[in-house]
């Protein structure tokens, strides 16, 4: 007889043609065993060479130049992406730390990282579902890594307090900037501030590669989100430190760091002690870049 957990895994899958849809079972908390809302948010999956062979369109690409991942969100659906992470090309032109402000009972924000690729080195997207075909790649020049709470399909929507009570799984996402603009600004009218990191093209590409590796450790989404402790900001800095090391930090700064590296509204301080900000880092907001003012 199949276990209840096995049956739950079957019932949580939405698309039998998607080989990389996670099983989507809430791993812990009050809604343990319920289906996670993976149709909206899911963790990226780093693909093996055997996985890539499922998609003949990628076979002519130089496997040494690209990282191949599944579950990249673009235009509301999931794609396989070939992302240029080789230090030979140094494909990432700049890295931008984004702070999305939203209404909350206490000062709060969401943080994420944007990677702007050089014109000659786009990411290449192909439909993930095996029953979908395309005659060309979609070329993408701005990617986002964002670590987010994901509710159960039959559970409560996000709030800061339930986020501390194990109601949400944690998704280590990769998304196109286009999709994030729709969600943050077009749909909700949020203010999104931007800080360009003090990295050259080699450091920027190293960070993208490292963040993909960090994010790809848990493709089945077995990690729980916590408002204080394992959140959008703490996971960014775990990824940064794993990729670049604690740049320029002395012992006293490391001791003080957990506050800024866990609390989105002051996360710029954690960037500064790592030497990742300079006088040119504060650039125009994403709203100003797009000509789309925030709605109060």
24-57 per-position pLDDT tens digit: 999 999 999 999 999 999 999 999 999 999 999 9
List of residues 6+ apart from 289 with CB closer than 8 A: 194
Structure tokens belonging to residue 123: 């990411």
Domain holding 78, by residue range, is 25-290
| pLDDT given at position 1 | 36
User: Is position 194 within any domain?
Assistant: yes
Predicted TM-score (pTM) of this structure = 0.93
pLDDT in tens, 82-138: 999 999 999 999 999 999 999 888 888 999 999 999 999 999 999 999 999 999 999
| pLDDT given at position 264 | 85
User: Is position 222 within any domain?
Assistant: yes
How many CA atoms are closer than 13 Å to the CA of 230, on its beta-carbon side? 13
User: How far, in Å, CA of 191 to CA of 102, rounded?
Assistant: 8
| pLDDT given at position 6 | 46
User: Is position 121 within any domain?
Assistant: yes
User: Is position 15 within any domain?
Assistant: no
Cβ proximity of 121 and 89 under 8 Å: yes
User: Is position 9 within any domain?
Assistant: no
Query: What mean pLDDT value characterizes the chain?
Result: 92
Q: What is the mean pLDDT of residues 198-206?
A: 97
User: Is position 12 within any domain?
Assistant: no
User: Is position 17 within any domain?
Assistant: no
Domain count, the chain: 1
pLDDT of 247 > 70? The answer is no
User: Is position 16 within any domain?
Assistant: no
pLDDT in tens, 159-189: 999 999 999 999 999 999 999 999 999 999 9
Strand partners, 35: 25
SS3 of residue 107 by DSSP: coil
């Amino acid at each position: 007889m199949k276990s209840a957990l096995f049956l739950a895994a079957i019932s949580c899958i939405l698309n039998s043609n998607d080989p990389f849809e996670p099983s989507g079972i809430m791993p812990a908390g009050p809604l343990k065993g319920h289906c996670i809302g993976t149709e909206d948010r899911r963790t990226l999956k780093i693909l093996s060479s055997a996985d890539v062979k499922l998609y003949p369109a990628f076979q002519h690409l130089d496997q040494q130049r690209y990282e191949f991942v599944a579950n990249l969100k673009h235009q509301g659906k999931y794609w396989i992406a070939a992302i240029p992470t080789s230090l030979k090309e140094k494909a990432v032109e700049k890295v931008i730390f984004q702070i999305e402000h939203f209404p909350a009972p206490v000062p709060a924000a969401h943080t994420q990282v944007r990677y702007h690729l050089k014109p000659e080195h786009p990411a290449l997207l192909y439909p993930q579902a095996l029953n979908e075909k395309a005659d060309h790649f979609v070329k993408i020049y701005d990617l986002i890594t964002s670590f987010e709470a994901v509710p159960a399909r039959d559970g409560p929507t996000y709030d800061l307090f339930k986020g501390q009570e194990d109601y949400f799984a944690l998704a280590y996402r990769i998304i196109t900037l286009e999709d994030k603009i729709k969600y943050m600004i077009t749909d909700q009218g949020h203010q999104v501030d931007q800080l360009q990191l003090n990295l050259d093209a080699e450091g920027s590409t190293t960070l993208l590669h490292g963040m993909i590796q960090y994010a790809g450790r848990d493709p089945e989404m077995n990690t729980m989100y916590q408002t204080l402790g394992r959140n959008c900001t703490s996971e960014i800095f775990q990824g940064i430190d794993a990729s670049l090391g604690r740049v320029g930090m002395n012992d006293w700064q490391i001791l003080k760091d957990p506050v800024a590296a866990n609390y989105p509204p002051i996360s710029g301080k954690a960037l500064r002690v790592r030497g990742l900000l300079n006088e040119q880092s504060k650039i125009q907001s994403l709203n100003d870049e797009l000509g789309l003012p925030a709605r109060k």
